[in-house]
Amino acid sequence: MTERSEPTARPRRSQLVHTGPGAADRDQVLRERWAQYLLGGLVACIVAFWLPAEARGAVVQVAGWIAVSAGIRVSVREKGLAAHSWRLIAFAGASFLLAPLVQIAQGALTDTTDPFPSVGDVFSIAGYIFLTLGVNELTVSRRTEPDRDNLIDSLILGAGLGILIWVLVIGDYVSDPEVGAAAQVLNLVYFGFVLLVVVLTARLAVGPGARTPSFYMLASAVVLVAVADVIATFDTLDRTEGGLFLLAALPIYVLLGAAAMHPTRTRIADPVDMEIRLTWSRVTLLALALFLAPAIVLVSGIAQTSDSGRDDDLPLLVVGSLVVSVLVLARLSSLVWARERTAVRERQLRFAGLQLVTARNIDETNRVTLEAVAALAGGLDGGRASIIRVDDGVSQVVASTGHRADLALETDDPLDRHDGVLLAALDRRSPMTLLDSEPVDLPDGESSDGARCTFILPLVTQAEVRGAIVVTTPRPLEPRVLRAIEALGTEVSFAIESAALTEHLHREKSERRFRALVENSSDLILVLDQSRACIFASPVVERLLGRDEESLLGPLPLELVHEDDRDAFDALLRMARGTALDDDPSEIRLLHADGTYRWFELRARDLSDEPEIGGVVLTARDITDRHAAEQRLARSEARFRALVQNSSDVVAVIDEQAFFSYVSPAIGPMLGFDADSLVGTNVMRLLPADEVTRAMKLVDSLTPRSFEQLTLEMRLRDRDGAWRNVDVTISDMRSEAAVQGIVLNVRDVTVRRALEQDLEHKTLHDELTGLGNRVMFNSRLGRALARTEARLDQVAVLFVDVDDFKEVNDSLGHHVGDQLLIAVAERLRACLRVSDTAARLGGDDFAVLLEDTYGESEIFAVADRILAAIAQPFSVEGREISVTASIGVAIDPSRSSTGEVLLRSADVAVYLAKERGKGRYEIFQAEVHSSAFERLELRSALSSAIQNGGLALYYQPIVDLATGDVIGCEALVRWDHPERGLLPPSTFIPLAEETGLIVPLGKWVLTEACTQLRSWTDAHPQAAELKMSVNLSVRQLDTPTIVEDVGQVLHRTDLEPERLTLEITESLVMDDAAELRERLVALRESGIMLAVDDFGTGYSSLGYIQRFPVDVIKIDRSFVDRLDGPGDANSGVVRTIIDLAHGLGTTTVAEGIETDEQLASLRRLGCEYGQGFHFSRPVPAEEFVAFLRRGAGSSGSDSGVGAGRP
């Protein structure tokens, strides 16, 4: 009916007391005695079958009193609940034995046979009371939790048997009219006690507890009591043979006596947990009990049909059927609820198992374990769960949760405290439950505070006790919960073993890593014990101090630490062992094996409490080189201060409010102030009023944020009140601890500025006539055309050419020609308004820019005035000279043309005027210019030429003017047009610039030129030091990858960067774009040389030039052309350019050298290099090699001077 799992003993504290040495002998005697008694009892039962009733009664009395005496003896000698149960059962047996004796005595006194009711029934009823109390107490003592399920099973069995007994026995008896009321009532009382005994016996049979031979014999005796009572009722109804009751009573006492004599008699009250399962036998029992009442109803109905049955049992059967049904339903519900709780515990165990598998260390394993125990125990309400670690006879609580868990974590006591119950549980290596005990997971002297039930589960792995799970609760935990915790304990044991193994592996790995780090560390590591003896030295000691490890082990030599540093060393060790924390290292000198001292940075940490270390750890870092560097730095700072103090440039430091905190002595020679007198004053007092506002805004914008460097030019007042032009470089050094301010580097540029202004004037004006030159004219023309807002005025250009001026030069000389040009310029200026611009473009060519003109008539009026003014005779050095002029007029009413186009259009118109008779003006017509289609066609052809190799490079030598040696060449591109032939750059470079084709064109030129230079270098020894100059356009420099592109070309051609010179235009130098400057600086830093081409034709000043890393300045040919004239007047600009270039540390290259006079003048002025037709025109690569072999000295005769420009 009940399947039981493997029982788990729950010993009480009394079980921990060991039996004496004679216990085994006494058990052997008892075992023999009960067997003899049982055998004799069985023989008596057989013999009694043939004996008469009187003899049977005597046998029963003898066997009964033997059994009672055995029970009394057990109750007296033993202790505990089992003894008390035996006492009650013995009293029941004695009552049952006395009942027939009293009945016989009463019959003898009253002369009645078997009187009923009688006084003996009182003893029988007392026997039943003692029996029910004894069996009930035995049942209660054998369980560890409420057994509602077993109670329901017992009630089902009792209800079914009660219905059956009623129908078969009691019903007939109660309904018999011959039976008196007292007899009926008494039998009903006996019937009730029989049912009670049946229920208690069934509960005892299906309930928990130890299944011993004594238990089985006692249970059988109790069952036979109920059977005997039923037989007695049958005897009353005369349904059985007389004396059968005595035959049934004899085995009762035989079994009772044997049970009381058996050695296991004291264990009948031991609680043993057994899991109740829903088996087929249990289901069958429930079904039989459920269908018993309906079956009886059915049989009764058939009997009534045949007029042989009673109909007064039907209500009882219906009620009994309902009672059994309700009990069965309750039992099934209980089984379902038990299965649900089992499923919940299984889920909790699975979840805990998964967490234990993924636990990374012991602490996490402990946490998961306690959470799982709390979940399985239903929350530990008022209880506590702890994990105890056992080590060297000491139990330590390593984790705890629940009531007073914080106090439990302080427990660290011997294992044998609390009567050694924890030690006994660990020795048994099996679970143990303690009732009403002191807590084993709290320190000594701490009370349980209401929690008196303790469950101890040892954690065993690999036959070694690792610790225990201790659960302390106010009430005993259910056996199901205990079994779940035991299952959890198995997984926890494996998890702890796994975590311990993992930590061990990690520790070994960490130790290996640490040892590897120490052995390979560049720092020296020493460990000193309490006596300052060295117990460990890392292997690096040999490299740092020239000593082996063994030589340092033991007491440290006194001389190891420099005598001046020994106090600091002692203080460092005291600080490490003291309570103060100081992370500042100490710099100490240690003796090297070679006798020299090395500087070390020492840190100390006391790890004496660490068993693996056991001393003070010294970490020594070699700072000998750093210390030497610091000394060098100090000397360098002193040297730098000396340089600052004696520099001609002023170095000053100001704070964020622009007050001086330092001024170098150079302020005296520059501005006449004493340096100390300026400290604490504001820099604004040295600025002119018109620059103070700008300077204050600058300071306000810079101080809130950090910046790198800024350069600007301003004026400063000197002590005499004069103003000096200075260049100021501003650097942010507020974050530098040695400076903590904004540094000003001030250089006096007053003289240079005046020189630049003079150069600027000369650059923009014609020296001969004082008019503007081509540069000024182009600039103003460009600005006029750029004003594109809605205007009614027009822009016009007049190109003025003096007719037949060459004849005046040839007949009267250049001097007279120059004077004539000066006079023409004066008359030209007089014909114009203030808003108009007049310029000399070169030779006898002049240009006039007219702005704010409304209508062509106004423009023509100006042209007529100019023609009339020039037609008047000129008086030059006593001579009267008459000349005329031709004027070309170009008008752009919509301002859509470029300056170059407008000026070229006027130039075309002036040639038309000369063709039509001179002394007149002509207006430019669109038809005389190229059509837009031709321009588009030219652009397409240029793109195709770049892609398909239609371009060619010509090379013009660059010559050292002092020696005549060829030092390099300039690569010039030519276009081999399929229809127009070889085209010079002037015909397609402007178009390439305008359309963007200049970028691929320039890249092709650079690649081809570098490739050619590599070829020359490999083939000709003369070209080993040859340099190549290549023009770089603004469009190319705008390309973000220009620096990488040039570097790749040099890498592919295997050329040194310093053999390449990139030429940039002067207009690019004037561009203040930061990106262009950064790219030029990057090119220069890579080793490439930079040159400014056509210098002197733009607005650039030396201030602009200084911002760029320029190596070469190329003097424009327009200035070289003037060197043919006599005197120094024509060489002033060239001299100024050369002097300024030398002042900037750059070299000069003169362009367009065509005559010996120009060459001689340039040599005299100090120009280093030159190029021009005097040496060679641009030639293909093959001819350049021949020129290189021949040398520049013999090139003059072959240069083709006068043959025209390329």
Q: What is the pLDDT of residues 564-613, one digit of tens each?
A: 888 888 888 888 776 544 567 888 898 888 888 889 988 888 887 776 67
What pLDDT is attached to residue 8?
39
Parallel, antiparallel, or unpaired: how do β-strands 709-717 and 660-663 relate?
unpaired
Tell me, yes or no, whether 1049 and 1152 share the same domain: yes
The count of other CB atoms within 10 Å of the CB of residue 10 is 21
Domain count for the chain = 6
Residue 150 has pLDDT above 80, yes or no: no
Token duo for residue 157? 């069995």
What pLDDT is attached to residue 11?
38
The count of other CB atoms within 10 Å of the CB of residue 888 is 27
Tell me, yes or no, whether 1099 and 974 share the same domain: yes
- Considering only 185-194, 561-570, 816-825, 867-876, which range has the smallest mean pLDDT? 185-194
Domain that holds residue 942: 934-1196
Report CA torsion sign: 35, 39, 41, 45.
positive
Decide if 161 is inside a domain.
no
Domain with 586 in it: what CATH number? Answer: 3.30.450.20
Decide if 261 is inside a domain.
yes
Average pLDDT over residues 214-222: 76
Of 908, 929, 950, the position where a domain reaches its end is: 929
Decide if 232 is inside a domain.
no
Decide if 822 is inside a domain.
yes
Show Cβ contacts of residue 867 under 8 Å, excluding neighbours closer than 6 positions. 884, 885, 887, 919, 920, 921
Tell me, yes or no, whether 106 and 251 share the same domain: yes
Decide if 575 is inside a domain.
yes
Amino acid at position 317, single letter: L
Decide if 192 is inside a domain.
no
Q: How confident is the model at residue 1121 (pLDDT cuts 50, 70, 90)?
A: confident
Residue 797 has pLDDT above 60, yes or no: yes
Domain with 872 in it: what CATH number? Answer: 3.30.70.270
Residue 24 has pLDDT above 50, yes or no: no
Average pLDDT over residues 157-165: 64
What pLDDT is attached to residue 496?
75
Q: How confident is the model at residue 1010 (pLDDT cuts 50, 70, 90)?
A: very high
What pLDDT is attached to residue 1126?
58
Domain with 1111 in it: what CATH number? Answer: 3.20.20.450
Residue 59 has pLDDT above 50, yes or no: yes
Token duo for residue 141? 């003592």
Decide if 273 is inside a domain.
no
Tell me, yes or no, whether 391 and 457 share the same domain: yes
Residue 29 has pLDDT above 80, yes or no: no
Residue 1130 has pLDDT above 50, yes or no: yes
What pLDDT is attached to residue 889?
94
What pLDDT is attached to residue 873?
94
Angle between helices 81-110 and 120-141 (to 10 degrees): 170
What pLDDT is attached to residue 595?
86
Decide if 488 is inside a domain.
yes
> What does the alpha-carbon distance between residue 1184 and residue 1187 come to, in Å, rounded to a whole number?
5
- Considering only 18-27, 282-291, 1019-1028, 1188-1197, which range has the smallest mean pLDDT? 18-27
What pLDDT is attached to residue 7?
37
**SS3 for 64?**
helix
Q: What is the pLDDT of residues 243-257, one digit of tens each?
A: 566 666 778 877 777
Tell me, yes or no, whether 138 and 66 share the same domain: yes
Residue 1012 has pLDDT above 70, yes or no: yes
Over the chain, what is the mean pLDDT? 77
- Which of the given ranges, 233-247, 512-526, 668-682, has the highest pLDDT on average? 668-682
- H helical segments located in 450-528: 479-520
Cβ pair 165, 179 in contact under 8 A: no
Tell me, yes or no, whether 732 and 762 share the same domain: no
Tell me, yes or no, whether 733 and 804 share the same domain: no
Nearest to 1005 by CA among 1022, 982, 1028, 1037: 1028
Tell me, yes or no, whether 500 and 486 share the same domain: yes
The count of other CB atoms within 10 Å of the CB of residue 736 is 11
Q: Which residue has the higher pLDDT, 161 or 559?
A: 559
Average pLDDT over residues 289-300: 59
Tell me, yes or no, whether 261 and 132 share the same domain: yes
Residue 1065 has pLDDT above 70, yes or no: yes
Q: What is the pLDDT of residues 683-741, one digit of tens each?
A: 888 888 878 888 888 777 776 676 767 888 888 888 888 888 888 888 888 877 767 78
Residue 404 has pLDDT above 90, yes or no: no
Phi and psi dihedrals of 272, rounded to 5? -135, 125
Residue 183 has pLDDT above 90, yes or no: no
Residue 20 has pLDDT above 50, yes or no: no
Tell me, yes or no, whether 991 and 915 share the same domain: no
What pLDDT is attached to residue 511?
62
Show Cβ contacts of residue 1171 under 8 Å, excluding neighbours closer than 6 positions. 956, 957, 958, 959, 970, 1149, 1150, 1151, 1152, 1153
Show Cβ contacts of residue 445 under 8 Å, excluding neighbours closer than 6 positions. none
The counts of H helices and E strands in the chain are 40, 35
**Could you tell me the CA-to-CA distances from 162 to 156, 202, 219, 1102 in Å, in that order?**
10, 13, 19, 130
Tell me, yes or no, whether 989 and 845 share the same domain: no
DSSP per position, 364-396: HHHHHHHHHHHHHTTS-TT-EEEEEEEETTEEE
What pLDDT is attached to residue 292?
60
Of 864, 894, 929, the position where a domain reaches its end is: 929
Show Cβ contacts of residue 900 under 8 Å, excluding neighbours closer than 6 positions. 778, 990
Cβ pair 897, 885 in contact under 8 A: no
Residue 1058 has pLDDT above 90, yes or no: yes
Average pLDDT over residues 1062-1068: 79
> What does the alpha-carbon distance between residue 270 and residue 1103 come to, in Å, rounded to a whole number?
112
**Could you tell me the CA-to-CA distances from 493 to 355, 373, 409, 431, 499 in Å, in that order?**
14, 14, 20, 14, 10
Tell me, yes or no, whether 1031 and 1177 share the same domain: yes
Of 629, 659, 677, the position where a domain reaches its end is: 629
